[in-house]
Amino acid sequence: MTIGATNGDHEYDRATAVKQFDESKIGVKGLVDSGATTIPPFFIHPPEALPISTSSTAPPVSELIPVVDLTGVDSDRRSRIVEQIRNASREFGFFQIINHGVPSDVINSTIDAIKAFNEQPTEVKSQYYTRDMGRGVFFATNFDLYKSKAATWRDTVHVRFSPTAPEIEDIPEILRREILEWDQHTRRLGEVLMETLSEGLGVKSERFKELSCLEGRVMAAHYYPYCPQPDLTLGIESHTDPGLLTVLLQNHIGGLQVKHDDEWLDVKPVPDALVINIGNILQIFSNDEFKSVEHRVLAHSCREPRISIAIFMDPGKMEQLYGPLPELTSPENPAVFRQFTLVEYFKRFVTKELDGKSLINFFRL
């Protein structure tokens, strides 16, 4: 029996098919390499979760996600940049940044390293395939494979950089130097973004740094290969990001979409740009001023893979109580979320499937 195929007259045993696929450790890339011309049924999403093919008369909404030019962020342009970031964070929860200071060759070598890792022989990659999230490094198809109602078409390398750094030898050598360098660049950029976001909220620049928000850094590097039936599945289902903010690098394939006024907008790849989005924790800190918005990635049938590298930035102190910033609340503008520790928050995040707004709404008063 091939992985995930329906077994003659027997009813499709989804749980067995998922387990068999997972234990094979071949990933979706392995299914493609084995010549699959259909996707296993456990990847098929119900029609309401799938994009409806729109006619070409639709307006060019893809231009709407703001692009912010960071040139002169430490000069007199800063107030203009802060205003653009604030407006984008309120209205879309997403923006792209250009002229952010990360060199093009660093961007290209990071993407190439993720590609090279995924394009190694299965025997090499499968050594890293695990669901043991306690490890600093893990590679798997869908971290929520056993919890989600339908699987999605991507393989992901996760590395936790901080607060506990991984054992260097645990990071696959093929991408080690590149991702460690990427962490350094995005940490520096994260600091600039956190300052401008604080200023946009009208709180002091160092506020997020003081709340340890540069200390929780996790990478999820995704490989979205060719999909033989891209209309039946997704690359990543609609969700919001749990943390403070996400810095995302995508290659040129495209497919990332953001929900805005009940419409899905494309986040068009812009050369050398980085995509920034507000996570649930920042929506909570800002007491609902900034929006953590639902987004998804479409599956695609390009022969070239889509590659994206997300750096999730979270506060690093697991036992501390977090909630709306006190300076943003008042008797007239009361807190709309309760306080919680990150232990409680992430426990809830990992025990359920990736989905829309239910995580943040759980903490809403």
Which residue of the chain is nearest Ni ion when measured via CB?
A: 241
Binding mask 290-309 for ligand OGA (x = CB under 6 A): -----x-x----------x-
CB of 291 or CB of 295, closer to ligand OGA: 295
The option from Ni ion, ligand OGA, none interacting with 309 (CB < 5 to 8 A, set by class) reads none
- Upper half-sphere CA count for residue 307 (Cβ side, 13 Å): 18
Q: Which stretch binds Ni ion (CB under 5 A): 55-63, 169-177, 204-212, 241-249?
A: 241-249
CB of 66 or CB of 228, closer to Ni ion: 66
CB of 250 or CB of 287, closer to ligand OGA: 250
Of 26, 159, 227, nearest in space to 2 by CA: 26
Among 18, 113, 179, 220, interactor with ligand OGA by CB under 6 A: 220
The option from ligand OGA, Ni ion, none interacting with 39 (CB < 5 to 8 A, set by class) reads none
CB of 86 or CB of 222, closer to ligand OGA: 222
310 binds ligand OGA (CB under 6 A): yes
DSSP string, 143-174: TTTTTSSS--S-EEEEEEEESSPPPGGGS-HH
The option from ligand OGA, Ni ion, none interacting with 256 (CB < 5 to 8 A, set by class) reads ligand OGA
CB of 273 or CB of 325, closer to ligand OGA: 273
Write the CA distances from 364 to 290, 314, 348, 358, integer angstroms.
15, 19, 14, 10
The set of residues, in sequence order, having a beta carbon less than 8 Å from that of 2 and lying 6+ positions away, is: none
Tokens of 184: 């350094």
Which H or E run contains 314? strand 306-314
- Upper half-sphere CA count for residue 39 (Cβ side, 13 Å): 27
250 binds ligand OGA (CB under 6 A): yes
Shortest reach from residue 114's CB to ligand OGA, in Å: 11
- The SS3 assignment for 364 reads strand
294 binds Ni ion (CB under 5 A): no
Q: Where are the alpha helices (DSSP H) in the chain?
A: 14-24, 27-33, 78-91, 104-118, 122-125, 173-201, 207-210, 280-285, 342-350, 358-362
Among 241, 289, 294, 314, interactor with Ni ion by CB under 5 A: 241
Shortest reach from residue 235's CB to ligand OGA, in Å: 7
Residues in contact with ligand OGA by CB under 6 A are 220, 222, 236, 241, 248, 250, 256, 295, 297, 308, 310
